[in-house]
């Protein structure tokens, strides 16, 4: 049962006009837009556009896939060398009599040496030019093509005593882009532990690191990816011993730039 | 141009309600074959009702003009998909509502980022006709958006609740609630 107000409202609504004309003629604007469309867009034309778009998209996806495959092949080669390197780092005795107790890391250059890296993987350190024995070594400075070279480069940077977190007090970076790198480093660390014939004692505590290395400001001077790689490498090496290396690094703790590793994989056996 | 005296679709004479006159059918066929002049005739035949719908849905005359343009441009793009199973105006009206709803969704997204200043939106009513008509137009323009949309579509355009729920993407019960709320507000406004 409708109230009188409802009936009144219905009556008024029924009396509303069904047609209201705009204040100006809209047709010229509409015609202009339609002419700009170049005719009605038929279903066939739309299907053709869709087909062209899909073909272009497929071609792009195929090209990207090929690039990814090519880059992964290149990284596999790098990782072979990286495995050699890491194996030599972990098991110096297994690497042969020529190999010393610790891997042959890059010689510590003079303080303040600038490092210039080009795309070919060669690094210029100050006056002398050192060529990376492994292309993956370039990843320690430049862009990382894959996680395994990053892991290798990170190991090297870490092996050079790049205790940047301790040195600079920088917070631990927990970024999602580095999650993959973190897991890769952990895997590399675990793999090293498996391959290692015998551990030589407990992992050194952070306090055991020399004060001059801690205050060297190395980490503060590291920038961008290199710094993050160094931080990640620290996590990967928590189970490793670097006593002799720290002794070696103690004398060069005033470095401003982390030293690039010159490591000859052939020597490592 | 037809000036329809009846507002509700159910109350309209068949030819006016549907716009299915022989001239319209012929114009539609010619427009489907790419005749822009024929489409211009369709525009002049239906622009009043399309604009009225846009004004009531948007409560903004300037926006209604833009929506009317968009609706006719979209109609030109899609006119080949019109198969003649319903009236041309029914097809055009549904297309206009879709355009208006799409614009509203886009506007709501924009308004989350940008706070717009008050402009002279409608509460502006048609200038002619009697005072009651003007008051009702203004009262409709002041309704909340959801209630206004449902009221316009149900009470003025004659859509059923199930059709409205499909058109604007709300539940049927919500549509009924919006209508009830709109009627309560309008009754208060008019008394």
Per-residue pLDDT of A96-115, as tens digits, reads 444 444 444 444 444 444 44
Give chain A positions within 8 Å (CB) of B3.
Answer: 17-19
Record: contact B7-A40, CB cut-off 8 A? no
Please, are residues B114 and B124 in contact by the beta-carbon 8 Å criterion? no
pTM: 0.46
B81 close to A (CB below 8 A) = yes
Give chain A positions within 8 Å (CB) of B76.
Answer: 30, 34, 37, 40
Q: What is the ipTM of this complex?
A: 0.76
> CA dihedral defined by A136, A140, A143, A147, rounded to 10 degrees?
60
Query: Can you give the pLDDT of all 191 residues of chain B as single tens digits?
Result: 333 333 344 334 333 445 557 788 888 999 999 899 999 999 999 999 999 999 999 988 999 999 999 999 999 999 999 988 889 999 999 999 999 999 988 877 777 666 554 444 555 444 445 566 667 888 899 999 999 999 999 999 999 999 999 988 999 999 999 999 999 998 888 77
Record: contact B183-A6, CB cut-off 8 A? yes
**Nearest residue in chain B measured CA to CA from A46:** B77
Cα–Cα dist B2/A18, whole Å: 9
> A260: which DSSP letter?
P
Q: Which residues pair with A125 in a beta bridge?
A: A115, A128
Across the interface, of A9, A22, A41, the residue whose CB is closest to B51 is A22
Please, are residues A134 and A153 in contact by the beta-carbon 8 Å criterion? no
DSSP strand pairing (A128-131 vs A115-117): unpaired
Record: contact B48-A20, CB cut-off 8 A? yes
A interface toward B at CB cutoff 8 Å?
A: 5-6, 8-9, 12-24, 26-27, 29-31, 33-35, 37, 39-43
Backbone angles phi, psi at A188, to 5 degrees: -60, -40
């Amino acid at each position: 049962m409708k109230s009188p107000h409802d009936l009144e409202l219905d009556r008024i609504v029924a009396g509303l006009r069904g047609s209201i004309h705009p204040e100006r003629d809209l047709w010229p604007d509409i015609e202009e837009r339609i002419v700009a469309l170049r005719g009605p867009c038929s279903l066939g034309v739309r299907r053709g556009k869709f087909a062209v778009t899909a073909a272009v998209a497929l071609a792009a996806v195929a090209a990207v896939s090929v690039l990814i495959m090519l880059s992964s092949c290149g990284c596999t080669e790098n990782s072979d060398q990286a495995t050699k390197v890491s194996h030599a780092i972990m098991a110096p005795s297994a690497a042969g009599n020529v190999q010393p107790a610790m891997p042959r890391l890059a010689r510590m250059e003079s303080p303040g040496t600038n490092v210039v890296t080009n795309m070919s993987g060669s690094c210029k350190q100050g006056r002398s030019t050192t060529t990376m024995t492994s292309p993956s070594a370039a990843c320690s400075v430049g862009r990382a093509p894959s996680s395994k070279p990053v892991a290798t480069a990170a190991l090297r940077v870490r092996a050079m005593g790049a205790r940047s977190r301790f040195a600079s007090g920088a917070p631990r970076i927990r970024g999602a882009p580095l999650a993959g790198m973190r897991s890769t480093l952990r895997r590399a660390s675990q793999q090293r532990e498996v391959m290692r014939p015998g551990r030589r004692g407990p992992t050194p505590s952070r306090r055991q690191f020399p004060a001059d290395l801690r205050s060297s400001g190395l980490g503060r001077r590291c920038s961008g990816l290199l710094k993050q790689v160094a931080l990640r490498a620290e996590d990967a090496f928590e189970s490793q011993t670097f006593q002799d290396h720290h002794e070696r690094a103690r004398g060069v703790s005033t470095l401003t730039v982390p030293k690039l590793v010159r490591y000859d994989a052939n020597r490592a056996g | 141009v037809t000036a329809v005296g009846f507002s509700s679709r159910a109350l309209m004479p068949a030819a006016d309600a549907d716009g299915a006159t022989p001239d319209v059918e012929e114009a539609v066929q010619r427009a489907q074959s790419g005749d822009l002049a024929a489409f211009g005739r369709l525009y002049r035949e239906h622009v009043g009702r399309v604009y009225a719908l846009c004004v009531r849905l948007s409560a903004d005359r300037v926006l209604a003009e833009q929506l009317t343009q968009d609706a006719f441009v979209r109609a030109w793009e899609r006119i080949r998909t019109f198969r003649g199973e319903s009236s041309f105006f029914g097809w055009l009206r549904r297309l206009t509502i879709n355009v208006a709803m799409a614009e509203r969704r886009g506007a709501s997204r924009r308004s989350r980022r940008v706070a717009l200043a008050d402009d002279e939106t409608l509460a502006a009513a048609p200038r002619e006709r009697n005072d009651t008509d003007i008051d009702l137009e203004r009262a409709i323009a002041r309704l909340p958006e959801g209630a206004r949309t449902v009221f316009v579509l149900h009470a003025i355009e004659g859509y059923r609740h199930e059709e409205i729920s499909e058109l604007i993407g709300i539940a049927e019960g919500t549509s009924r609630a919006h209508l009830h709320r709109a009627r309560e507000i309008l009754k208060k406004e008019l008394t």
